[in-house]
Structures are given as structure tokens and as C-alpha cells.
Amino acid sequence: MFHVWRCATGPCHVVIPVHLIAITLVLLVSMPCQKRCLHSRCRQICGYPCVPCMETCAWTCRHHACDLRCHEICKRPICNEPCEKLLHCGHPCLGFCGEPCPSICRVCTPQYKDTISLMTMEEFEETDRFVMLPDCGHVFEVSGLDTWMKSEQCDSGTNSISPKSCPSCKNIIRQSLRYGNQIKARMKQLEDVKMRIFGNQQVNEGIVLLRRKQFDEALEQFLTGKNMQIR
Ligand SMILES: [Zn+2]
Ligand SMILES: [Zn+2]
Ligand SMILES: [Zn+2]
Ligand SMILES: [Zn+2]
Ligand SMILES: [Zn+2]
Ligand SMILES: [Zn+2]
Ligand SMILES: [Zn+2]
């Protein structure tokens, strides 16, 4: 029986038979967590439950604000008002109020092409708005990216919980204000999986043995582990 362990927070994306989890954990314990927010970077080791950011939520604009903590699901609507800022070139921003300004301009970057709709700058309407993903800087027309973020992105044949990735460069989307709640909801699912793994006594005993490089005993520990439910 194969189970998927996809860690949202690091490079360790692996599909494994469940009895090989010990070997996977050897990989996990050696990598730093990649999760970050506008305030900080998680200092945990990849695969362990993340330390939640307790700073005040940074998602504020002229119209809406969230007064919860950074890691909590935001209690404010998305702002669909246009950004009123001017770009460095002096032309109006094509983004949304309170979001990072996309690095495209109707006048100065006519070569821009949206990789979801495959439309070029001149094919877009005056009223079309764009969103930039802060992790990689790629820019998309908003309706296409909204649909992408809502869609289930499943790899064929696996029942993985995978974080959303950029439609263009496939980098994991870790930071976005507009899509913050979707990102947090998926991360929460992954955190639940981590808690189930690391809340299991046998697993924890196995990890201690792994740290001492007692691999055979560790594997034994994992194999006898009961109630291991990894999804
Ligand atoms: Zn934060
Ligand atoms: Zn983390
Ligand atoms: Zn606003
Ligand atoms: Zn918030
Ligand atoms: Zn802007
Ligand atoms: Zn311009
Ligand atoms: Zn990208």
C-alpha cells in the first residue's frame, strides 16, 4: 500500500510505501523548513509541525483589515478595488488595492503574456486586473488565477495533499494576501498530518533512534507502529 507524504514546507516531496516511512524520516530530519510569511521564516526542521507566526496579520487596505494573528484564517473579504498607485514608469498599476503591485504595465510591457489564458497585453480589456505571486514574481490575470487556486491540483494516482504551485514556474505558493486563506487551509491539512505522525509514540521513539543512527532498530519501531494513519 502506497501513501503519500508531501511536505509543504520543504523539498522533500516523496511517494512512499508506508513501511518505508523510517527512511523518509531520515530525509526529513536533515532539511530546514521552507515555510515563511511576511514576518519570519519557520525555524523548524522540515517535516516537523511548524511554529505558527503570532504576529498581527499584515493583510490590511483602506477598505478592510484583519486583526487576527498571522497564522489564523483571515476574517476579512478580498478587496477587489483597483490599486490606485502609479508604477515607477508613471503609468497606473494594474493590480488590486492592498496587494503587491504586479510588475507589468499596459504601455511599457506590451510583450507580457498571461500563461494561463495565453492572452497578450493588447488582448486584455482596460478593466482586466492582474495579480502577482510574491514568491516567484509571476503575474496572471485575476479570473484565471482565482480558478487555478480553487481547483483541486492532484497528481494522478495519488491522494496527496499538495500545496498550490505557480502555474508558470511550479514553485510552491507560500505567500499571497489575496489567496492567503486558501494557502492557510491547505497548510492546516498538512499540519494535521504532521501532528498525526509526530503525535505517535512509536514514531517519536523511532526518531530518537534515527538521531542516534540506529537505523535497524528505528525501522523496527516504525514497522510495529500501530494506528499509523497517513494520508
Ligand atoms: Zn507572520
Ligand atoms: Zn515549518
Ligand atoms: Zn482595499
Ligand atoms: Zn488575517
Ligand atoms: Zn498596485
Ligand atoms: Zn509603464
Ligand atoms: Zn512563478
SS3 132: strand
* Domains in the chain: boundaries: 2-224
Q: Which residues surround ligand 3, an ion (CB under 5 A)?
A: 61, 63, 79, 81, 97-98
Residue 142, pLDDT > 60, answer yes
Ligand 6 center from residue 92 Cα (angstroms): 7
Quote the CA–CA distance of 30 and 1 in Å, as a whole number.
26
Residue 211: count of CB within 10 angstroms of its CB: 11
Q: What is the pLDDT of residue 23?
A: 52
Ligand 4 center from residue 25 Cα (angstroms): 32
Strands (E), 38-191: 130-132, 139-141
Look at residues 199, 51, 150 and name the one whose alpha carbon lies nearest to residue 164: 150
Angle between helices 201-211 and 180-198 (to 10 degrees): 80
Torsion of CA 162, 165, 170, 173, to 10 degrees: -120
Q: Which ligand is nearest to the CA of 53?
A: 1
- Mean pLDDT (whole number) for 206-230: 66
Lowest mean pLDDT among 83-92, 116-125, 175-184, 208-217: 208-217
Lowest mean pLDDT among 53-57, 70-74, 174-178, 192-196: 192-196
Measuring CA to CA, how many Å separate 143 from each of 1, 112, 129, 146, 152? 39, 17, 8, 5, 16
Residue 225, pLDDT > 70, answer no
User: Cβ-count burial of 213 within 10 angstroms (0-12 exposed, 13-18 middle, 19+ buried)?
Assistant: exposed
Ligand 3 center from residue 170 Cα (angstroms): 29
Ligand 7 center from residue 11 Cα (angstroms): 16
Lowest mean pLDDT among 7-21, 185-199, 216-230: 7-21
Q: Which residues surround ligand 4, an ion (CB under 5 A)?
A: 57, 59, 66, 68, 74
Q: What percent of the chain has pLDDT over 90?
A: 50
More confident residue, 43 or 55: 55
Ligand 6 center from residue 101 Cα (angstroms): 12
Using DSSP bridges, classify how beta strands 139-141 and 13-17 pair: parallel, antiparallel or unpaired: unpaired
- ipTM, 2 dp: 0.91
Cβ proximity of 25 and 3 under 8 Å: no
Angle between helices 201-211 and 21-28 (to 10 degrees): 60
pLDDT in tens, 80-129: 999 999 999 999 999 999 999 999 999 999 999 999 999 999 999 999 99
Q: What pLDDT band is residue 21 in, cutting at 50, 70 and 90?
A: low
Residue type, 197: I
Q: What is the pLDDT of residue 197?
A: 73
Q: Which ligand is nearest to the CA of 180?
A: 4
Q: What is the pLDDT of residue 153?
A: 57
Ligand 1 center from residue 69 Cα (angstroms): 8
SS3 202: helix
Q: What is the pLDDT of residue 34?
A: 83
Quote the CA–CA distance of 88 and 60 in Å, as a whole number.
23
Q: Which ligand is nearest to the CA of 9?
A: 2
Cβ proximity of 115 and 140 under 8 Å: yes
Q: What is the pLDDT of residue 28?
A: 54
Residue 12, pLDDT > 70, answer no
Ligand 1 center from residue 166 Cα (angstroms): 21
